[in-house]
Amino acid sequence: MKHDAIIVGGGFAGLAAATYLARARRSVRIVDTGKPRNRFSDASHGFLGHDGSDPRHILATARRQLLAYPTVELIEDEAIAAQVQDNGFSVQLAGGEKIEAHKLIFAFGLRDDLPNLPGLPERWGKTVLHCPYCHGIEFSDLELGVLYRVPMSAHQASLIADWGPTTLYLNGAELAPGDAAMLAARGVKVEPTVVTGLLGEGLGLSALELEDGRRSAIAALYVAPQSCFTSPLAEQLGAAIDQGPFGPMIRTDADKMTSIRGLYAAGDIARMPHSVSWAVADGVTAGTSAHRALVFG
Rounded to whole angstroms, how far apart are CA atoms 163 and 135?
10
Strands 226-229, 247-250: parallel, antiparallel or unpaired by DSSP? Answer: unpaired
Give the SS3 label for residue 2: strand
1 pLDDT tier (thresholds 50, 70, 90): low
As a whole number, the mean pLDDT across the chain is 95
Does residue 185 have a pLDDT over 80? yes
256 pLDDT tier (thresholds 50, 70, 90): very high
Q: Cα separations (Å) of 124 from 56, 113, 215, 225?
A: 16, 11, 20, 11
Number of residues written out for the chain: 297
- Which of 111, 105, 143, 54 lies closest to 265 in space, CA to CA? 105
Distance from the Cα of residue 94 to its chain's centroid: 23
202 pLDDT tier (thresholds 50, 70, 90): very high
Give the amino acid at 62.
A
Does residue 112 have a pLDDT over 70? yes
First vs last C-alpha separation in the chain: 20
**Beta-bridge mates of residue 249:** 242
pTM of the model: 0.92
DSSP 257: B
- Parts of the chain belonging to CATH 3.50.50.60: 2-112+226-296, 115-223
Q: Cα separations (Å) of 70 from 158, 165, 228, 254?
A: 50, 53, 34, 30
Class of 115-223 in CATH? alpha beta
* Candidate from 6-10, 147-151, 185-189, 259-263 with smallest mean pLDDT: 147-151
Distance from the Cα of residue 208 to its chain's centroid: 26
DSSP H stretches of helix in 100-170? 132-135, 153-160
pLDDT tens digit sequence for 29-65: 999 998 887 787 878 888 889 888 888 999 999 999 9
DSSP 53: B
> CB-based contacts of 54: which residues, under 8 Å, 6+ apart?
42, 43, 44
* Range ranked top by mean pLDDT from 158-162, 243-247, 269-273: 158-162
CATH number assigned to the domain with residue range 2-112+226-296, chosen from the 4 options 3.50.50.60, 3.40.50.970, 1.10.3470.10, 3.40.350.10: 3.50.50.60
Q: Mean per-residue pLDDT for 277-285?
A: 96
273 pLDDT tier (thresholds 50, 70, 90): confident
